[in-house]
Amino acid sequence: MAQTAKKLPRKKYAMVFILIGAVCSAVGALLVFSEYGGLPLYSKKVYDLPWYILMVGVLVLFYGIYQRTASRRLGEEVSFSGGSAKSFFLKYALIFALLVLVIVVICIEPAFLKLDVMFDILAQSSIKLIIALGICFTLLIAGTDLSAGRMVGLAAVISASMLQKPTYASRFFPNLPQVPVILPILLAVLACMCFGTLNGFLVAKFGMHPFIATLATQVIIYGACSLYFDMPPNNSQPIGGVRQDFQDLAQFKLFGRISILVPIALGVTLIIWFVLNKTVFGKNVYAIGGNTEAAVVSGVNVFRTIMGIFILASALSGFGGVLEAARTAGATNNYGTGYELDAIAACSVGGVSLAGGVGKVSGIVVGVLIFTVIQYGLQFIGVSPMWQQIIKGIIIAVAVAIDLSKYHKK
């Protein structure tokens, strides 16, 4: 027998969040400002917990305000039922598991509450997010891109090799004059886009499965990058001594604490959100992923869209490789190894269906953050890297199982 859904006016629903958010914000603000006023109301053992209380309060407050102001678009009432509660917990099971893990890490090592830890997590997530946002396009059409990691390495080697200091003893190009920093970056990204074009052509023109097409391209890219990396006088030596203006692209910190990578990743995220949700190209991506035959009947240019998907994915992978070289102040031909697998896993955890046609940018952000927090948190408390791999594998398996169960139900 179907359960009768209980309904609550959306304004009352919103007021609950507004009140909770206001209380948390007030408490957090009181604790934060008491510290600056010289009369701390909390123990130093909780580190920056008041800041987290304040931030959570502000987020909940804004969510409540959004629910109240968007009642016309969302409906005047909110429905609740036992089934909806179950589906809610199933949908966000991994986030709840992440919260439990974070609490465990904090109990073991309270220093995890420092704001600098959060800033480090955001910085480590940034490049991974940019790459994942590129791969998500290929997953949305029930494909994949196994060449993304090698494109990261190619872009890193090309950009770093052309942006070394003139005084560096082991320059890749000893006679190369100092060029504008943007030129090698564009060359690196364009080189990746050429291989992205090859990926798209193999898939769109010959109907080759993206797994095989990108696997073949992955091998080609690694070989080409290794040949370039082995050119004399470098002879496969790690590239170092990169210019400071290049390093600043990834190492500069806003306000002395927040990595410049964070706003860069945020900007890319907003652009990709706009492309997927507000452009014809984005709607075509979802259409092809949902049903290719129906998309063709609807007038979608499948060839052009698939080409665009793989070119865009390669551009983002190349840009991620450039930032990785700037972050580490160097490069080798092995940069980016396994990055594509982490990106695919993060997308899957974030709700991008491997069957195609389903996925949101917000979910990808959450997926990347989940993996970064897990890895950082386990390292923070000294868990063995072997156990970290086991835990990561379990999370991937559970996420994909949940995704497939929802797909079969539909």
Q: What angle do CA 48, 50, 53 make, to 5 degrees?
A: 120
Encode pLDDT of 232-246 as tens digits.
Answer: 999 999 999 999 999
Percent with pLDDT over 90 in the chain: 60
pLDDT at 76: 75
Encode pLDDT of 20-77 as tens digits.
Answer: 999 999 998 988 888 766 666 666 677 888 889 999 999 999 989 988 887 767 777 7
Would the pLDDT of 143 be above 50? yes
* Residue 337 backbone phi and psi in degrees, to 5: -60, 125
101: confidence class by pLDDT, cuts 50, 70, 90: confident
Residue 52 to residue 58: CA distance in whole angstroms: 10
Using CB atoms within 10 A of its CB, is residue 97 exposed (0-12), middle (13-18) or buried (19+)?
middle
Cβ neighbors of 247 (< 8 A, separation 6 or more) are: 326, 329
Cβ neighbors of 230 (< 8 A, separation 6 or more) are: 236
pLDDT at 349: 84
Mean pLDDT over 289-303 rounds to 91
Q: What are the domain boundaries of the chain?
A: 7-78, 88-409
Residue 187 to residue 181: CA distance in whole angstroms: 11
For domain 88-409, say whether CATH 1.10.3120 is its number.
Answer: no
Cβ neighbors of 21 (< 8 A, separation 6 or more) are: 57, 58, 59, 60, 61, 62, 63, 64
Least confident interval from 95-109, 133-147, 314-328: 95-109
Would the pLDDT of 3 be above 60? no
Average pLDDT over all residues of the chain: 89
pLDDT at 122: 94
* Residue 394 backbone phi and psi in degrees, to 5: -60, -40
Mean pLDDT over 202-210 rounds to 94
Least confident interval from 190-204, 256-270, 295-309, 392-406: 392-406
Residue 365 to residue 343: CA distance in whole angstroms: 11
CA dihedral 342→344→346→350, nearest 10 degrees, is 180
Judge contact between 154 and 321, C-beta under 8 A: yes
Residue 184 to residue 162: CA distance in whole angstroms: 6
pLDDT at 223: 97
- Residue 73, token pair as written in the block: 């678009």
| Residue 159 Cα distances to 28, 140, 184, 268, angstroms | 44, 30, 5, 20
Judge contact between 155 and 130, C-beta under 8 A: no
Q: How far is CA 197 from the centre of its chain?
A: 23
Which residue did the predictor score with more confidence, 74 or 219? 219
pLDDT at 82: 58
Would the pLDDT of 215 be above 70? yes
Judge contact between 137 and 285, C-beta under 8 A: yes
Encode pLDDT of 150-159 as tens digits.
Answer: 999 999 999 9
Residue 109 to residue 125: CA distance in whole angstroms: 22
Of the candidates 115, 109, 89, the one whose C-alpha atom is nearest the C-alpha of residue 35 is 115
Least confident interval from 87-96, 204-213, 254-263, 308-317: 87-96
Side-chain-side CA neighbours of residue 216 (13 Å): 11
pLDDT at 18: 93
pLDDT at 118: 92
Could you write out the DSSP letters of every residue in 186-223?
A: HHHHHHHHHHHHHHHHHHHHH---HHHHHHHHHHHHHH
Element of type H or E holding 366: helix 361-380
pLDDT at 406: 60
pLDDT at 1: 43
